[in-house]
Chain A
Protein backbone atom coordinates (compact mmCIF):
# COMPACT_ATOMS: atom_id res chain seq x y z
CA UNK A 1 0.00 0.00 0.00
CA UNK A 2 1.19 3.49 -0.85
CA UNK A 3 2.23 5.44 2.21
CA UNK A 4 2.26 8.81 0.45
CA UNK A 5 0.06 10.57 -2.10
CA UNK A 6 1.41 13.23 -4.45
CA UNK A 7 -0.10 15.02 -7.44
CA UNK A 8 1.22 13.49 -10.68
CA UNK A 9 2.38 16.80 -12.12
CA UNK A 10 2.65 20.52 -11.58
CA UNK A 11 4.07 23.53 -13.38
CA UNK A 12 5.99 26.41 -11.87
CA UNK A 13 7.26 29.67 -13.29
CA UNK A 14 10.97 30.32 -13.14
CA UNK A 15 11.90 32.52 -10.20
CA UNK A 16 8.73 31.77 -8.30
CA UNK A 17 8.39 29.50 -5.29
CA UNK A 18 7.34 25.93 -6.01
CA UNK A 19 5.19 24.32 -3.31
CA UNK A 20 4.98 20.54 -3.63
CA UNK A 21 2.36 18.83 -1.48
CA UNK A 22 2.46 15.33 -0.04
CA UNK A 23 -0.18 13.49 1.95
CA UNK A 24 0.89 10.81 4.44
CA UNK A 25 -2.22 10.41 6.58
CA UNK A 26 -1.16 7.04 8.03
CA UNK A 27 2.29 8.16 9.15
CA UNK A 28 3.49 6.71 12.45
CA UNK A 29 5.19 8.59 15.25
CA UNK A 30 8.57 7.08 14.46
CA UNK A 31 8.46 7.77 10.73
CA UNK A 32 10.35 10.55 8.99
CA UNK A 33 9.38 12.35 5.79
CA UNK A 34 12.09 12.33 3.12
CA UNK A 35 12.23 14.10 -0.22
CA UNK A 36 14.32 13.06 -3.20
CA UNK A 37 14.26 14.32 -6.75
CA UNK A 38 15.25 12.77 -10.06
CA UNK A 39 16.33 14.88 -12.98
CA UNK A 40 15.83 13.25 -16.37
CA UNK A 41 18.38 10.50 -17.11
CA UNK A 42 20.00 10.82 -13.69
CA UNK A 43 19.71 8.91 -10.44
CA UNK A 44 17.62 10.29 -7.57
CA UNK A 45 19.14 13.00 -5.40
CA UNK A 46 18.48 13.56 -1.69
CA UNK A 47 16.90 16.92 -0.87
CA UNK A 48 15.79 17.05 2.75
CA UNK A 49 14.07 15.12 5.54
CA UNK A 50 12.25 15.86 8.79
CA UNK A 51 10.28 14.35 11.64
CA UNK A 52 7.91 17.05 12.88
CA UNK A 53 9.76 20.35 12.93
CA UNK A 54 10.15 22.44 9.81
CA UNK A 55 13.52 22.00 8.15
CA UNK A 56 15.54 24.16 5.78
CA UNK A 57 18.76 23.61 3.88
CA UNK A 58 20.46 25.11 0.87
CA UNK A 59 18.14 23.32 -1.52
CA UNK A 60 14.69 23.58 -0.02
CA UNK A 61 12.40 23.94 2.98
CA UNK A 62 10.17 21.24 4.40
CA UNK A 63 6.97 22.20 6.18
CA UNK A 64 5.21 19.43 8.13
CA UNK A 65 1.72 20.00 9.50
CA UNK A 66 1.18 19.75 13.21
CA UNK A 67 -0.75 16.48 12.89
CA UNK A 68 2.03 15.20 10.56
CA UNK A 69 -0.51 13.94 8.05
CA UNK A 70 0.84 16.10 5.25
CA UNK A 71 3.88 18.10 4.27
CA UNK A 72 5.02 20.61 1.68
CA UNK A 73 8.39 20.86 0.00
CA UNK A 74 9.20 24.44 -0.93
CA UNK A 75 11.72 25.38 -3.61
CA UNK A 76 12.02 29.09 -2.84
CA UNK A 77 13.16 30.36 -6.25
CA UNK A 78 12.62 27.71 -8.90
CA UNK A 79 15.07 27.52 -11.78
CA UNK A 80 14.90 25.57 -15.02
CA UNK A 81 17.34 23.08 -13.46
CA UNK A 82 14.73 22.23 -10.84
CA UNK A 83 12.63 20.47 -13.50
CA UNK A 84 12.50 16.90 -12.19
CA UNK A 85 10.34 14.21 -10.60
CA UNK A 86 10.04 14.83 -6.86
CA UNK A 87 9.46 11.91 -4.52
CA UNK A 88 8.02 12.12 -1.03
CA UNK A 89 8.95 9.07 1.07
CA UNK A 90 7.92 8.05 4.56
CA UNK A 91 10.44 5.98 6.42
CA UNK A 92 10.94 4.55 9.91
CA UNK A 93 13.71 6.40 11.73
CA UNK A 94 15.47 3.25 12.87
CA UNK A 95 15.39 1.94 9.31
CA UNK A 96 17.50 4.76 7.92
CA UNK A 97 20.05 2.20 6.79
CA UNK A 98 17.52 0.30 4.72
CA UNK A 99 15.67 0.68 1.48
CA UNK A 100 13.81 3.67 0.13
CA UNK A 101 10.26 3.01 -1.06
CA UNK A 102 9.51 5.33 -3.94
CA UNK A 103 6.07 6.10 -5.31
CA UNK A 104 5.37 7.66 -8.68
CA UNK A 105 6.29 11.16 -7.51
CA UNK A 106 5.35 14.57 -8.89
CA UNK A 107 6.70 15.69 -12.25
CA UNK A 108 7.59 19.36 -11.80
CA UNK A 109 8.17 21.45 -14.91
CA UNK A 110 9.70 24.89 -14.42
CA UNK A 111 8.91 27.19 -17.31
CA UNK A 112 10.68 30.41 -18.35
Chain B
Protein backbone atom coordinates (compact mmCIF):
# COMPACT_ATOMS: atom_id res chain seq x y z
CA UNK B 1 0.00 0.00 0.00
CA UNK B 2 1.48 3.33 -1.07
CA UNK B 3 1.16 6.19 1.39
CA UNK B 4 0.47 9.85 0.72
CA UNK B 5 3.22 11.55 -1.26
CA UNK B 6 3.82 15.25 -1.87
CA UNK B 7 6.04 17.21 -4.20
CA UNK B 8 8.19 19.16 -4.10
CA UNK B 9 9.76 18.76 -0.67
CA UNK B 10 10.94 22.33 -0.46
CA UNK B 11 10.21 25.43 -2.50
CA UNK B 12 11.42 29.03 -2.42
CA UNK B 13 9.39 31.78 -4.06
CA UNK B 14 9.23 35.56 -3.96
CA UNK B 15 6.30 37.77 -3.05
CA UNK B 16 3.69 38.06 -5.78
CA UNK B 17 4.60 34.81 -7.49
CA UNK B 18 2.34 31.81 -7.89
CA UNK B 19 3.01 28.26 -6.67
CA UNK B 20 1.56 24.80 -7.29
CA UNK B 21 1.96 21.98 -4.80
CA UNK B 22 1.08 18.37 -5.62
CA UNK B 23 -0.28 15.43 -3.65
CA UNK B 24 -0.91 11.80 -4.45
CA UNK B 25 -3.41 10.17 -2.15
CA UNK B 26 -3.12 6.79 -0.52
CA UNK B 27 -4.38 3.84 -2.50
CA UNK B 28 -8.16 3.45 -2.13
CA UNK B 29 -8.74 6.99 -0.79
CA UNK B 30 -11.07 9.34 -2.64
CA UNK B 31 -10.91 12.47 -0.48
CA UNK B 32 -8.03 14.91 -0.15
CA UNK B 33 -7.63 17.68 2.41
CA UNK B 34 -5.00 20.42 2.55
CA UNK B 35 -3.62 22.05 5.69
CA UNK B 36 -1.24 24.92 6.34
CA UNK B 37 1.16 24.65 9.27
CA UNK B 38 2.94 27.86 10.17
CA UNK B 39 6.11 27.60 12.22
CA UNK B 40 5.36 26.69 15.82
CA UNK B 41 1.64 26.20 15.26
CA UNK B 42 -0.79 23.39 14.61
CA UNK B 43 -2.01 22.75 11.07
CA UNK B 44 -5.01 24.74 9.84
CA UNK B 45 -7.60 23.40 7.42
CA UNK B 46 -7.51 25.02 3.98
CA UNK B 47 -10.03 22.94 2.00
CA UNK B 48 -11.14 19.44 1.09
CA UNK B 49 -11.81 17.83 -2.29
CA UNK B 50 -14.12 14.93 -3.07
CA UNK B 51 -15.10 13.74 -6.55
CA UNK B 52 -13.09 16.58 -8.09
CA UNK B 53 -15.18 19.23 -6.31
CA UNK B 54 -14.28 21.47 -3.38
CA UNK B 55 -16.21 19.99 -0.47
CA UNK B 56 -15.51 22.48 2.27
CA UNK B 57 -13.19 25.37 3.01
CA UNK B 58 -11.49 26.91 6.00
CA UNK B 59 -10.73 30.57 6.59
CA UNK B 60 -8.42 31.11 3.62
CA UNK B 61 -8.76 33.71 0.85
CA UNK B 62 -9.71 32.80 -2.74
CA UNK B 63 -6.09 33.07 -3.91
CA UNK B 64 -5.77 29.60 -2.35
CA UNK B 65 -7.36 27.21 -4.82
CA UNK B 66 -7.17 23.54 -5.63
CA UNK B 67 -7.90 20.75 -8.01
CA UNK B 68 -8.60 17.06 -7.69
CA UNK B 69 -8.07 14.72 -10.61
CA UNK B 70 -9.90 11.51 -11.58
CA UNK B 71 -7.13 9.44 -10.00
CA UNK B 72 -7.80 11.38 -6.72
CA UNK B 73 -4.46 13.19 -6.78
CA UNK B 74 -4.66 16.87 -6.00
CA UNK B 75 -3.00 20.25 -6.44
CA UNK B 76 -2.92 23.29 -4.21
CA UNK B 77 -2.38 26.59 -5.99
CA UNK B 78 -1.54 29.84 -4.26
CA UNK B 79 -1.54 33.09 -6.23
CA UNK B 80 -0.01 36.44 -5.32
CA UNK B 81 2.21 34.94 -2.64
CA UNK B 82 2.66 36.86 0.59
CA UNK B 83 5.39 36.52 3.20
CA UNK B 84 2.87 34.99 5.64
CA UNK B 85 2.27 32.14 3.21
CA UNK B 86 5.61 30.69 4.30
CA UNK B 87 4.66 27.42 5.98
CA UNK B 88 4.59 23.65 5.76
CA UNK B 89 1.71 22.55 3.53
CA UNK B 90 0.29 19.17 4.38
CA UNK B 91 -1.93 16.98 2.27
CA UNK B 92 -4.10 14.29 3.83
CA UNK B 93 -6.16 11.59 2.17
CA UNK B 94 -9.11 9.66 3.53
CA UNK B 95 -11.90 7.34 2.52
CA UNK B 96 -15.60 8.22 2.74
CA UNK B 97 -16.20 4.58 3.54
CA UNK B 98 -14.51 5.01 6.90
CA UNK B 99 -17.02 5.89 9.58
CA UNK B 100 -14.64 8.20 11.36
CA UNK B 101 -12.90 9.57 8.27
CA UNK B 102 -9.38 9.10 9.60
CA UNK B 103 -6.96 11.20 7.58
CA UNK B 104 -3.49 10.03 6.52
CA UNK B 105 -0.88 12.72 6.05
CA UNK B 106 1.95 13.17 3.61
CA UNK B 107 5.38 14.53 4.62
CA UNK B 108 4.52 18.05 3.51
CA UNK B 109 5.98 20.71 1.26
CA UNK B 110 7.88 23.50 2.95
CA UNK B 111 7.26 26.79 1.18
CA UNK B 112 9.44 29.81 1.85
CA UNK B 113 8.33 33.17 0.48
CA UNK B 114 11.01 35.88 0.32
- Is A bound to B? no
B-binding residues in A (CB < 8 A): none
